Amino acid sequence: MRISKRRMLRSVHFAGIVWFVVCAAYVLVLALRQAGFRWWVIFSLSGHSALLIFLLVSLYLFAVFRGAGRSQNIEVEHALSSTDYYKVFYVVAPFLGGVAGSLATIGTGQTGQHVLAIALGTLVTTFLVWVVVDPATGLVEMLLPASRKHRAQRLCEAKALREKKQKDRERLLTELLAKEESQWRQWQEILTPKAQKLAALLATDEMHFEEAQRQAVDLGVSAWQIGGLSCMQQLRRMAIEIHEKTCRGSMVIDYISTWWDGIGSWRSPSFAGSV
């Protein structure tokens, strides 16, 4: 029921905006005609004005529709403007202005003045309600002691919630880093002998290259089974570091990236470069 009521208010409000724009366009065109402008000048100006009005109305509707879903906490701070009676009065303000303008010219017998009065009544009433009365009402509501107290409490709770979320994120990050550090230390102990063997395979000669490749593949599979791609990457780094310390001054060729191609999610680069 509440959703259908909200949709109805939105529809009436949109119709009121359309009616307001139509009345504003009528008054503008009438003023230009009385000033002596020709119709082709008015139509040329109306094209650019229509685009500007469309953008302004779209922006206004976006703000209104976002504000239409106020929570109960906000309604406590806006005791008057959040009531259904006030919302109905707000959205039908353009039509009330038109009715007032129509009643003011009853019995004149002049259609032009009657239509102009309706348009002016719409513009004046809409301006007073939407631009003057509504902001003033919101300001008065915010100055009420109960509203100020509730708003301060709501902001304090929101701040506490943000701080709690920040602490939870920091705690989670700390736990993940600690878990990762523990995992790395555990891998370090397990992978050290494997890395030493793999480093020795990098220095193998051409005669024993195929046998070295087979043993390197076994080491890669073992690392994949221990910890997946991350474990394989760590084993490769450890092996290359050991090999560099052992063979100082000589170029280190990364055979490992090619040997391990296809193991798990390991993929070798387009070429085996120097490390």
pLDDT for the residue numbered 37: 54
Output the DSSP codes for 94-109.
HHHHHHHHHHHTTT--
Tell whether 120 is covered by a domain. Answer: yes
The H-or-E segment that residue 120 falls in is: helix 111-127
Same domain, 138 and 252: no
Of 7, 45, 1, the C-alpha closest to 25 is: 45
Tell whether 64 is covered by a domain. Answer: yes
Tell whether 269 is covered by a domain. Answer: no
Same domain, 95 and 228: no
Same domain, 10 and 109: yes
Tell whether 245 is covered by a domain. Answer: yes
Tell whether 150 is covered by a domain. Answer: no
Look at 129 and 39; give whichever has higher pLDDT.
Answer: 129
Mean pLDDT for 159-182 is 90
What would the pLDDT profile of 73-83 be if each residue is shown by its tens digit? 466 777 788 88
Tell me the residue range of the domain where 41 lies.
2-143
pLDDT at 67 over 60: no
Same domain, 186 and 242: yes
- pTM for this model (two decimals): 0.49
Same domain, 19 and 129: yes
Same domain, 52 and 127: yes
Structure tokens at 252: 């280190």
The span from the CA of 65 to the CA of 131, in Å, is 17
pLDDT at 275 over 80: no
Output the DSSP codes for 132-147.
IIHHHHHHHHHHSHHH
Same domain, 99 and 199: no
Same domain, 14 and 65: yes
By the 8 A CB rule, do 235 and 198 touch? yes
Same domain, 185 and 116: no
Same domain, 130 and 194: no
pLDDT at 164 over 90: yes
Tell whether 153 is covered by a domain. Answer: no
The H-or-E segment that residue 165 falls in is: helix 145-202
The tally of domains found in the chain comes to 2
Structure tokens at 66: 């976002």
Q: How many helices (H) and strands (E) does the chain have?
A: 10, 0
Tell whether 274 is covered by a domain. Answer: no
What would the pLDDT profile of 22-37 be if each residue is shown by its tens digit? 888 888 777 766 666 5
pLDDT for the residue numbered 255: 86
Same domain, 92 and 203: no
Average model confidence (pLDDT) across the chain = 79
Same domain, 94 and 179: no
Tell whether 233 is covered by a domain. Answer: yes
